[in-house]
Amino acid sequence: EAQVTQNPRYLITVTGKKLTVTCSQNMNHEYMSWYRQDPGLGLRQIYYSMNVEVTDKGDVPEGYKVSRKEKRNFPLILESPSPNQTSLYFCASSLRDRGSYNSPLHFGNGTRLTVT
Amino acid sequence: RKEVEQDPGPFNVPEGATVAFNCTYSNSASQSFFWYRQDCRKEPKLLMSVYSSGNEDGRFTAQLNRASQYISLLIRDSKLSDSATYLCVVNRLRTNNDMRFGAGTRLTVKP
């Protein structure tokens, strides 16, 4: 089954304790992206990657890191989480070169992070 | 001002009703447009793309008005299963790396 898999689904942590949220897709997609969703704000892009070893900042990259060493994986790293990073996080992927009309975003099922 | 604005609702309608959502966008250079559906605590899923000439998919009709910079979604004969949040998505580029999401419009269809 074609899918984007995120782990964990729920995570409660304390300020300053490094954490990683994993994202893996099995569709051979070049493009992957991380979003956070907060009430009233919609999804905001954190980082994205157009291909292996190519990553770029989105709109809200502060406090986050990513890596793209393999095509299928795109982990999100919070080196020193803070309470304002409490949010619902989604990973997404798509083909890169077919244009957005021909390659919709496929989302993972989300990670709800709480930082106390 | 947000780049993509939607009425948050909630819209509470009876089964069988017709309901319409509007979404406005501020960047006139936007190139592609979509409606995504998001069920409570779940991931967004593509409902339909929105083309310049307007398009229909069963009970759903999407329209684009570039001059006024808004897109709309019309749902006819509402079903209980249509209850969800509908996200308006606008893309300034040909590729997916600049998608802008509205905050969503919540719809509840009641028996």
Q: Do A100 and B2 touch (CB under 8 A)?
A: no
Look at B85 and B93; give whichever has higher pLDDT.
Answer: B85
Residues of chain A numbered 72-111 and touching chain B (CB < 8 Å): 90, 94, 96-97, 99-101, 103-105, 107-110
Check whether B94 has a pLDDT greater than 80: no
Confidence of residue B81 (pLDDT cuts 50, 70, 90): very high
Q: What residue of A is the nearest CA neighbor of B88? A: A42
Q: Do B49 and A50 touch (CB under 8 A)?
A: no
Residue B42 at interface with chain A, using a CB cutoff of 8 Å: yes
Residues of chain B numbered 66-105 and touching chain A (CB < 8 Å): 87, 91, 93-97, 99-104
Q: Where are the beta strands (DSSP E) in chain B?
A: 4-6, 11-14, 19-25, 32-38, 44-50, 55-57, 60-65, 70-75, 84-91, 99-101, 105-110
Q: Are A38 and A18 in contact (CB under 8 A)?
A: no
Q: What is the pLDDT of residue B43?
A: 96
Count, residues in chain B? 111
Q: What is the pLDDT of residue A98?
A: 65
Tell me the pLDDT tens digit for each residue of B12-50.
999 999 999 999 999 998 888 999 999 998 999 999 999
Contacts of B9 (CB under 8 A, 6+ apart): B105, B106, B107
**Which of A27, A43, A109 should one mutate to test binding to chain B, selecting the residue with the greatest count of B CBs within 10 A?**
A43
Q: What is the pLDDT of residue A63?
A: 97
Q: Do B4 and A42 touch (CB under 8 A)?
A: yes
Tell me the pLDDT tens digit for each residue of B59-74.
999 999 999 999 999 9
- What residues in A contact B42, CB-CB < 8 Å? 109-110
Q: Using CB atoms within 10 Å of the CB of residue B44, give its burial: 0 to 12 exposed, 13 to 18 middle, 19+ buried.
A: buried
Residue B108 at interface with chain A, using a CB cutoff of 8 Å: no
- What residues in A contact B96, CB-CB < 8 Å? 31, 33, 94, 96, 100, 103, 105
- What pLDDT tens digit does each residue of chain A (116 aa) get? 889 999 999 999 999 999 999 999 999 999 999 999 998 888 999 999 999 999 999 999 999 999 999 999 999 999 999 999 999 999 999 987 667 777 889 999 999 999 99
Q: What is the pLDDT of residue A97?
A: 67
